[in-house]
Structure 1
Amino acid sequence: MHRILLIAVPLFGLCIAFEWLWGRLKGRDTYRLSDSISSLSQGLMSLAVAAVTPLFQNGMYAWLQPHLALVRPSVWDGWWGWAVAIVVYDLCDYWLHRVSHESALFWAAHTVHHQSEHFNLTTALRQESFYAVMGWPFFLPMALLGMPLEQYVAAGLFVLLYQFWIHTEHIGRLGWLDRVFSTPSNHRVHHAVNPRYLDKNYGAVLVIWDRMFGTFAEETEPCVYGTVKPLHSWNPIKAVGQFYGELFDRARATPRWADRIRVLFKSPGWAPPGTSTTAEPDGDRLRQSRFDPAVSRLDRWRAVSLVAMTGVASAVWLDASDDMSEARNLVAAAVIAAGLYAAGALLARGTDGGGDRGRRTRRLRGWGLYLGAMALCAGMIAILA
């Protein structure tokens, strides 16, 4: 699947460029460079994790389907079988998505997708690294129905690619389509932290699941994007681990083992007795300015070129990953993570300040970080190409 996604990358890039240009022409630019780099970094991280966890991507389904199938796979032959597979997959995905907002351990994996305080097509590529690793049991109903692996994979790819176009603020209400499908208006609601919008509109392709199960909300007020507790960091490793760290702190804060287990499976806003957490957005959160610290021009373009180099290294690696050992894939994934970490660190450096000596030290550290990460990625390309 990751190879198909890499083929789609040029189209994604063209769409992102068009949306950015359209926003500039209309005086409504929804992009910020640091935020977009952060989102693209998470997309590359998710591809890296997928490459080193093939068992959880499609392997579990391939292994279990022959043992669980209650219906002969041949029943699904024909075009209509592929259409049914998409609908069933979308329903399974609704419940996975819903649980990922209502259960803390699953939210820890899913929260990455919601951390951006902007809403544009790069947000669509801000994919979760551990979502598929934790979510595969939700699709076992398809195995019970005997749907072949090819239909399961194709349906998952369709549902994933469909969601790309709904991450935009430049498409308004779409009439009857908003009542049936997940559309930009419906999905803006899903990404918002406005109290009336929280935990709504989970459907990936069809929003009728939300209407059926009571989780639908129409877009009636301007959306404030992000998470209830903002990330306020460009560090991709911190982004992935932020809520896991919060869960650990909550569990450590209570002496009762039963409460430590509850921390993992109750809602993300639940905390053991005697501890506190931010459960709901308040007025200050809704009025809070977006995280966008100043970055020097040099660091901006170093970060851009570094993410581009990391992207090329990812493409070369993922094209060969199926034929590589698990150990070599893990090393390659570490190189990708190092490159993305360095790009985030460059964006977090701020602008030069202090005396001449301090500025020189900062510049040397910046170049060391940049050149070291570029050398790692270039070395991996040279070895694998």
Structure 2
Amino acid sequence: MNTQETIITWATPVFFALIAMELLVARLRRRNVYHSSDAINSLALGVISQIVGVFSKILTLGIYAWCVQHLAAFSLPANNLLVWVTALIAYDFCYYWLHRAGHEVNILWAAHVVHHQSEDYNLSTALRQTGSGVLLGWLFYLPMAVIGFPLEVFVVVALIDLLYQFWVHTELVGRLGWFDRVFCSPSNHRAHHAVNDKYLDHNYGGILIVWDRLFGTFVEEDDKDPPVYGTRAPLRSWNPLWANAEVYWATAKDAWRARRWRDKLLVWLKPPGWRPADVAARFPKADFDIQRARFQPALSRGLTVYSLVQFALLLGMAVQFLDLAKHLSLVVLGGYAVFLVLSLTALGALTEGRRVGVVLELVRLLVTAAIPLLTGGWFGLPQLSGSVLGAMVAIPALSALVLGWVVLVGHRREGTGKVIPG
């Protein structure tokens, strides 16, 4: 197991332990900082991001390695502490500009928006990551390769920078005095995630907030103007595929509708929210309302519990996928990835309280049972023992029965004629 995989393996249970701790502290303080469907959606997007990373890592790290080998100005040693410290600072500096560009250039915002869509602000939000950031994000780190930071150093400092940012996604840690003036902190990052006018597009630093102070993008959290989270064009969906595609789709439509060729290009390069004048006139959008009602389709308690259990099962499959990734053929790996992404999408539709969500979930359960039943195995596991095979068929079959019972009971209790009571 390489260094990157080792760090991720050890960090994952710590993440969930801290989420559990945050839930407990919030309960003791009588604060409601989590909503189950929102948390499932955020974690599902994190899973999809990791799945995409399995396929994209060869490309992005391969490009970095090539640049180090052929373009590096210096041959920096990987066994020198100063190189590591300098690399971490350099990475954080590059991250600042990538993050800032992600808020100022629409095509980059289309990827980064995923991280901001949640209307909650908690540790699960930290794991809400884009699946398309790999398309252009790697460009911002090539200066490190040109300088000569070795690939193994780059990979580790990138993970350190990412892991650091996990803990700042919480409302339960207040101001930290001098720390807030030097480092990215929960207070600083709450302001970054807010859609209030005074906070919008500030505090981009990953570990150090001094970059924002140097380049004029720092703002302090104000207790008189508490942050409101989400985006100015709310997602209003728990579909993880749509979460990744929504801004690309909206921008593509504006580009298609624009009459001038110049505008067809600029709509991708201008700041988020910019639209060609002719498009805005013909296809107006509603003004942003910070008092808008949050997206929170009501689910019965039974469906909420069902969704959490099914997500836990899918999360276990995702962990298996990541563990087997280095051994599976590309065809099997791709098939498993498609299965997981579509499964998370079906679960998202179910948590939206839509009738089609029940249908998609039943189809997902049918496919989940059919794969081991028809093949005698599972992705990457060609032959299962009889007991394991029986369990892998029985669990989705039992889940289908439970789902039907939960929907039926909810329907009878509500008496609304809806498949999923709202």
**TM-score computed with the length of structure 2 as normaliser:** 0.83
In the TM superposition, what is the alpha-carbon distance from 1:54 to its structure 2 partner? 2.0
Is residue 34 of structure 2 the alignment partner of residue 31 of structure 1? yes
- Are the equivalent residues in 2 in contact too, given 1:118–1:226 (CA < 8 A)? yes
Moved more, 40-49 or 364-373: 364-373
Higher RCO structure, 1 or 2 (CA under 8 Å, sep 6+): 1
- Are the equivalent residues in 1 in contact too, given 2:346–2:361 (CA < 8 A)? no
Q: 5 Å matches for 1:186-335?
A: 186-220=188-222, 221-276=225-280, 282=288, 285-335=289-339
- Are the equivalent residues in 2 in contact too, given 1:37–1:307 (CA < 8 A)? yes
- Are the equivalent residues in 1 in contact too, given 2:350–2:357 (CA < 8 A)? no
Residue 359 (structure 1) aligns with: none
Q: Evaluate the alpha carbon distance shift between residue 143 and residue 376 of structure 1 in structure 2; reply closer, same or farther with a 3 A threshold.
A: farther
Output the aligned Cα RMSD: 2.3
- Are the equivalent residues in 1 in contact too, given 2:173–2:186 (CA < 8 A)? yes
Larger Rg: 2
Q: Which residue of 371, 378, 383 corresponds with 1:382?
A: 378
Residue 173 (structure 2) aligns with: 171
**CA displacement 1:262-296 (0-9 Å, x = unmatched):** 111111111112122899974xx221222111012
Moved more, 374-383 or 47-56: 374-383
What amino acid sits opposite 2:380 in the alignment?
A: L
What amino acid sits opposite 2:326 in the alignment?
A: D
Q: Which residue of 11, 20, 37 corresponds with 1:8?
A: 11
Is residue 121 of structure 2 the alignment partner of residue 123 of structure 1? no
- Are the equivalent residues in 2 in contact too, given 1:313–1:377 (CA < 8 A)? no
Q: Which residue of 61, 64, 74 corresponds with 1:58?
A: 61
In the TM superposition, what is the alpha-carbon distance from 1:3 to its structure 2 partner? 5.9
Moved more, 271-280 or 26-35: 271-280
What amino acid sits opposite 2:49 in the alignment?
A: S
Residue 45 (structure 2) aligns with: 42
- Extract unaligned runs of 5+ from structure 2: 382-422
**CA displacement 1:240-279 (0-9 Å, x = unmatched):** 1010111011101112221111111111111112122899
Using the alignment, how far apart are the partners of 2:144 and 2:123 within structure 1? 30
Residue 353 (structure 2) aligns with: 349
In the TM superposition, what is the alpha-carbon distance from 1:374 to its structure 2 partner? 4.3
What amino acid sits opposite 2:293 in the alignment?
A: S
Residue 356 (structure 1) aligns with: none
Q: Which residue of 96, 99, 104 corresponds with 1:97?
A: 99
Q: Evaluate the alpha carbon distance shift between residue 252 and residue 301 of structure 1 in structure 2; reply closer, same or farther with a 3 A threshold.
A: same
Q: Evaluate the alpha carbon distance shift between residue 178 and residue 280 of structure 1 in structure 2; reply closer, same or farther with a 3 A threshold.
A: farther
**TM-score computed with the length of structure 1 as normaliser:** 0.91
Q: Evaluate the alpha carbon distance shift between residue 373 and residue 97 of structure 1 in structure 2; reply closer, same or farther with a 3 A threshold.
A: farther
**CA displacement 1:80-134 (0-9 Å, x = unmatched):** 2111111000000000011111000000011000000000000000011111332
Q: Evaluate the alpha carbon distance shift between residue 89 and residue 25 of structure 1 in structure 2; reply closer, same or farther with a 3 A threshold.
A: same
Identical pairs, percent: 41
Q: Evaluate the alpha carbon distance shift between residue 150 and residue 279 of structure 1 in structure 2; reply closer, same or farther with a 3 A threshold.
A: farther
In the TM superposition, what is the alpha-carbon distance from 1:377 to its structure 2 partner? 8.5
What amino acid sits opposite 2:117 in the alignment?
A: Q
What amino acid sits opposite 1:32 in the alignment?
A: H
- Are the equivalent residues in 1 in contact too, given 2:237–2:243 (CA < 8 A)? yes
Residue 71 (structure 2) aligns with: 68
**CA displacement 1:199-251 (0-9 Å, x = unmatched):** 10000000000011111000012000000010000111111101011101110
- Are the equivalent residues in 1 in contact too, given 2:111–2:132 (CA < 8 A)? yes
- Are the equivalent residues in 2 in contact too, given 1:310–1:377 (CA < 8 A)? no
Q: Evaluate the alpha carbon distance shift between residue 43 and residue 60 of structure 1 in structure 2; reply closer, same or farther with a 3 A threshold.
A: same
Using the alignment, how far apart are the partners of 1:366 and 1:137 within structure 2? 38
Q: Per the alignment, in what secondary structure is the counterpart of residue 196 of structure 1?
A: coil
Q: Per the alignment, in what secondary structure is the counterpart of residue 108 of structure 1?
A: helix
- Are the equivalent residues in 2 in contact too, given 1:16–1:122 (CA < 8 A)? yes
The number of aligned residues is 372
Residue 410 (structure 2) aligns with: none
Using the alignment, how far apart are the partners of 2:115 and 2:201 within structure 1? 14
